[in-house]
Chains A and B, each alone.
Chain A
Amino acid sequence: MSGLIEVVDVHKSYGSVKILKGLNFSVLEGETFAIIGPNGAGKTTLFKVMTGETTLNSGEIRFRGRGISSDPPHMRTRGGFGRTFQVARVFLELTVLENVVVAIEARQKASHERKGRWYDWRPAEDVRTEAMQLLAELGLERSARREAKFLSHGDKKRLEFAITLGGRPSVLMLDEPTAGMSPTDRKGTAELIRRIKAERGVTVIMTEHDMDVIFGLSDRLMVMNYGEMIALGLPAQVRADKTVREVYLGKEASHA
């Protein structure tokens, strides 16, 4: 069974320190796949390798059967990857609307679906409409003309979602989407992810620390420790796995 994304024997070191030690797994199309593990397990590095932020030392990453290990980030985005950052990164000096417009225009350029004229100096009609729709979906339409730097932290996260969705990705890579949020916001974000999945049928890969979010959202779950995979499977299975309990709860508690 080959998945949408295959990570094949991936090794990554920073200098002489080995961070990823031969990871092997697949992500199936349409599923929500979560990656968890204690700090220092290598989750962020794995994320960076998968999104193209950094190169791997050996191994391969395949997307729809094609190797993408040497593709730079913008190529992967054009291929259908969307990525959010742990601390939301948006274009601060652009307006909220322009932020999403930029993403849509980049997508249109890559897929040659541009409808505007080349000499336009304002965003084309269809681009603006699509951008406003996305903003409305995320509750940001009233801030459309404000510069992004004036948004609250939570609004910036939602703007980042809008930007990412503007690229019409088939794979959403979310780096700790609920990091630093209050419990209410966390529920809201989880709900948002669920909605996006339901409406667009995207594949979601996320790293997370919040167990409620993980167990509420994910179809399958992979646990990492010290750069290796120690468990992979359905949430309930993983929860009961002895090695996982040892890693998280310590040797004594796991026998409880």
Chain B
Amino acid sequence: MPGRDTRFWTLTGVAMLAALAVLPLVANDSVKFIVGLAIIEALFALSWNLLFNYTGIASFGHAAFFAVGAYLVGIGQRHGWPVPFPAQLLGAFLAGSVMALVIGGIALRRATGIHFAILTLAVAEVVRMLISYSAYVGRDEGLAGIPRPVIDFGVTTLSLKSVNAYYWLILVICLVLALALWWFVSSRHGRATRSIALDAERAAFVGIDVYRMRLLSFTISGGVAGICGGLSAPWVQIVTPDLSHWLHSAQPMLNTLLGGSAYFWGPAIGAFVYAFINYSTRTLAGLSELMIGGILIIIILSAPMGIAGALAAAQRRLSRNYGEGSP
């Protein structure tokens, strides 16, 4: 890609980041709430796309990792575990990644494609059932009243109880993890997994241990999804078994396709667009599903590359018409 393109995109990204950072100073609480959630869903979608576009695996049960992470932190905060909040977040990451390691370890050897997708769906539903069966975590009603944390550094404490403070925490952590994912995808690990996504058999014949790399991707993806859940629990302040419902698993898929799976930041763009549409149509029951389903169909049929793809194509066309000519 020519250098001009990268600069354009980086500038756009930095601008967006700045906008997100100053949001708490200008917006009201309900907007902050939606945007904070959108940031988390953006990272969640990025973790899903790590599997879909960059490893060639479709996970239809990604919400399970999210739910497990959310419940872990939710319980920890609600029941006042003597574990500092950063450790709880780390625990959410570990929970998600260990779960992914176990599931992937068994399933990736024996199932591929559609079967793997359905298996993940089934696992997520089992997780949901087990959660809603347990009285300790409030069965179907879940756990409410989850407090936001105060981090004790010994010499000083950092209170994340205010909306602004916790919002910025979400922004920082999600940004760092997103960049970490970006590094992974650009590194030789990412090149190896991408080759698996493009032609798994050919990758094997190049000497890549396909199973192992898939498992690595799956584990990382599960861990990041777990942290997304963990971050969301004190933000939304309630966790319910529906966090593992297949509709929640559909969320990152939607966001990814909306924004464009072939572009790294596509899923994030999709998450924000979706949040916007959802917020604008929240008054009429059924309208948001209609809009999202409709938009998704239109995108798949006419612009399978998503919003990011359409933008990129438009930008290329513009630079061809007004730039210095083709390379």
Complex Cα gap A85–B204 (Å) = 13
The answer to the question of B187 belonging to the interface, with a C-beta cut-off of 8 Å to chain A, is yes
**B contact residues around A53 at 8 Å (CB):** 201
Q: State the Cβ distance, B264 to closest chain A Cβ, in Å.
A: 12
* Contact present for B198 and A92 (CB under 8 Å): yes
Contact residues, B255-305 vs A (CB, 8 A): none
* Contact present for A77 and B205 (CB under 8 Å): yes
Q: Give how many B residues have a beta carbon under 8 Å from the other chain's beta carbons.
A: 20
* Contact present for B202 and A89 (CB under 8 Å): yes
Q: State the Cβ distance, A159 to closest chain B Cβ, in Å.
A: 12
Complex Cα gap A53–B204 (Å) = 10
* Contact present for B191 and A102 (CB under 8 Å): yes
Q: Give how many A residues have a beta carbon under 8 Å from the other chain's beta carbons.
A: 33
* Contact present for B191 and A78 (CB under 8 Å): no
**B contact residues around A90 at 8 Å (CB):** 202
**B contact residues around A177 at 8 Å (CB):** none
Q: State the Cβ distance, A99 to closest chain B Cβ, in Å.
A: 8
Known: A91-B195, A91-B199, A91-B202. A105 touches B210 (CB 8 A): no
The answer to the question of B186 belonging to the interface, with a C-beta cut-off of 8 Å to chain A, is yes
Q: Which of A85, A89, A103 contacts B207 (CB 8 A)?
A: A103
* Contact present for A105 and B192 (CB under 8 Å): yes
Known: A94-B191, A120-B187, A121-B183. A106 touches B199 (CB 8 A): no
Q: State the Cβ distance, B311 to closest chain A Cβ, in Å.
A: 19
* Contact present for A121 and B187 (CB under 8 Å): yes
Known: A91-B195, A91-B198. A73 touches B205 (CB 8 A): yes
* Contact present for A103 and B206 (CB under 8 Å): yes
Q: Which of B191, B199, B203, B206 has the most CB of A within 10 A?
A: B206
Complex Cα gap A53–B205 (Å) = 9
- Chain B residue with minimal CB distance to A111? B207
Contact residues, A79-138 vs B (CB, 8 A): 83, 85, 89-94, 98, 101-103, 105-107, 109-110, 116, 119-123
The answer to the question of B4 belonging to the interface, with a C-beta cut-off of 8 Å to chain A, is no
* Contact present for B187 and A83 (CB under 8 Å): no
Complex Cα gap A251–B195 (Å) = 49
Complex Cα gap A123–B192 (Å) = 12
The answer to the question of A233 belonging to the interface, with a C-beta cut-off of 8 Å to chain B, is no
Complex Cα gap A64–B34 (Å) = 64
- Chain B residue with minimal CB distance to A88? B202
Q: State the Cβ distance, A6 to closest chain B Cβ, in Å.
A: 21
The answer to the question of B194 belonging to the interface, with a C-beta cut-off of 8 Å to chain A, is yes
> What are 23 A-to-B residue pairs whose CB atoms are below 8 Å?
A74-B204, A74-B205, A74-B206, A77-B206, A77-B207, A85-B202, A91-B194, A91-B203, A93-B194, A94-B194, A94-B198, A102-B195, A102-B203, A103-B207, A105-B188, A106-B207, A106-B208, A116-B188, A121-B183, A121-B187, A122-B186, A167-B206, A167-B207
Q: A92-B198, A121-B186 are in contact. List 19 more A-B contacts (CB 8 A).
A: A53-B201, A74-B206, A91-B195, A91-B199, A91-B202, A91-B203, A92-B199, A94-B198, A98-B191, A102-B191, A102-B195, A105-B191, A106-B192, A106-B207, A106-B208, A107-B207, A119-B187, A122-B186, A163-B206
Interface residues of A (CB under 8 A from B): 51, 53, 72-74, 77-78, 83, 85, 89-94, 98, 101-103, 105-107, 109-110, 116, 119-123, 163, 166-167
Interface residues of B (CB under 8 A from A): 183, 186-188, 191-192, 194-195, 198-199, 201-210
Q: A-B pairs with the 6 shortest C-beta distances?
A: A77-B207, A106-B207, A121-B186, A73-B204, A74-B204, A105-B188
